[in-house]
């Protein structure tokens, strides 16, 4: 899947391109609205509004006038009026900075599946990760265990979503910190252990998240 990232801030764009590449996305990055409009066909656009040459709303309007490509606005503008304008101009989704990387990936998948439904390529389906009694809904950010909904913090949800995306797969501590916290995380790694402990307690089964000493963590595969 080919993405176009329209973002002028290198500190934001470069880690995003790197992370999206790990998820299997081929990402072309441009820093101006003019370059975005001139770019070739892609499968989805991630569009920042604060661009140096023109307002992102104008970019959205121009792209939508010539293409049905899915557009996700990613911006620091979080007021309701900004969301309304973006959606009315044709954006498919609107994500306010700062946001979790896993949430962005979930939005990309959800918007892509809705687009497939529009073109007849397939029916849009909920983005739900299932593992035994565990259900992680990436679109609504709800977690259910054996029918009971859990209350998780933002980071707890992002951490669980990362592990639940591939039960049984080992995730290193560095990988988890980079994807759930920040690509340039320099804080104490102890925060990861605190969140793992909290998740285990809330899930009601401490053995569900397995520790591989000196390496990282994995979600027990109950599928």
From the list 105, 98, 39, the residue with the least C-alpha distance to 72 is 105
- What's the pLDDT score for residue 43? 92
For residue 116, the model assigns a pLDDT of: 66
Tokens of 94: 């609107």
Whole-number Å distance between alpha carbons of 164 and 24: 17
Higher pLDDT among residues 82 and 135, named by residue: 135
pLDDT score for 141:
85
pLDDT at 30: 97
Domains belonging to the chain, first-starting first, are: 2-119 (3.40.50.2300), 128-219 (1.10.10.10)
pLDDT on residue 126: 44
Q: Would you say 72 and 45 are in contact if contact means Cβ atoms under 8 Å apart?
A: yes
Mean pLDDT rounded to a whole number for the chain: 85
Q: What is the DSSP letter of 94?
A: E
Which of 98-112, 180-194, 208-222 is least confident? 180-194
**pLDDT tier at 124, thresholds 50, 70, 90:** very low
CA distance 182 to 54: 29
Count other C-beta atoms under 10 Å from residue 196's C-beta: 19
Residue 189 has pLDDT above 70, yes or no: no
SS3 sequence, 139-159? CCCEEEECCEEECCCHHHHHH
Query: Which pLDDT tens digit goes with each residue over 87-116?
Result: 788 888 888 887 888 889 888 988 887 766
Q: Is the dihedral of CA 94, 99, 103, 109 positive or negative?
A: positive
pTM exceeds 0.85: no
Q: Which of 79, 76, 65, 72 is nearest to 104 (CA)?
A: 72
Residue with tokens 């979790």: 100
Instruction: Please state, in angstroms and rounded to a whole number, the distance separating the CA atoms of residues 20 and 3.
Output: 9
When mean pLDDT is compared across 42-46, 54-58, 65-69, 143-147, the lowest value belongs to 65-69
């Amino acid at each position: 899947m080919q993405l176009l990232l329209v973002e002028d801030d290198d500190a934001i764009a470069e880690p995003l391109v790197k992370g999206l590449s790990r998820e299997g996305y081929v990402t072309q990055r441009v820093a101006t609205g003019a370059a975005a409009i001139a770019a070739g066909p892609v499968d989805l656009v991630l569009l920042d509004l604060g661009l140096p040459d023109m307002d992102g709303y104008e970019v959205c309007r121009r792209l939508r006038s010539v293409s049905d490509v899915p557009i996700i606005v990613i911006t620091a503008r979080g007021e309701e009026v900004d969301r309304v304008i973006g959606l009315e101009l044709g954006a498919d989704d609107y994500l306010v900075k700062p946001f979790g990387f896993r949430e962005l990936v979930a939005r990309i998948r959800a918007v892509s599946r809705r687009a497939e439904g529009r073109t007849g390529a397939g029916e849009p389906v909920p983005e739900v990760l299932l593992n035994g009694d565990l259900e992680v809904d990436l679109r609504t950010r709800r977690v259910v265990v054996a029918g009971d909904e859990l209350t998780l913090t933002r980071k707890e949800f992002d951490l669980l979503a990362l592990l639940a995306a591939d039960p049984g797969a080992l995730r290193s501590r560095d990988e988890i910190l980079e994807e759930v916290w920040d690509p340039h995380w320099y804080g104490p790694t102890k925060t990861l252990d605190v969140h793992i402990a909290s998740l285990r307690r809330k899930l009601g089964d401490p053995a569900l998240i397995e520790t591989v000493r000196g390496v990282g963590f994995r979600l027990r595969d109950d599928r």
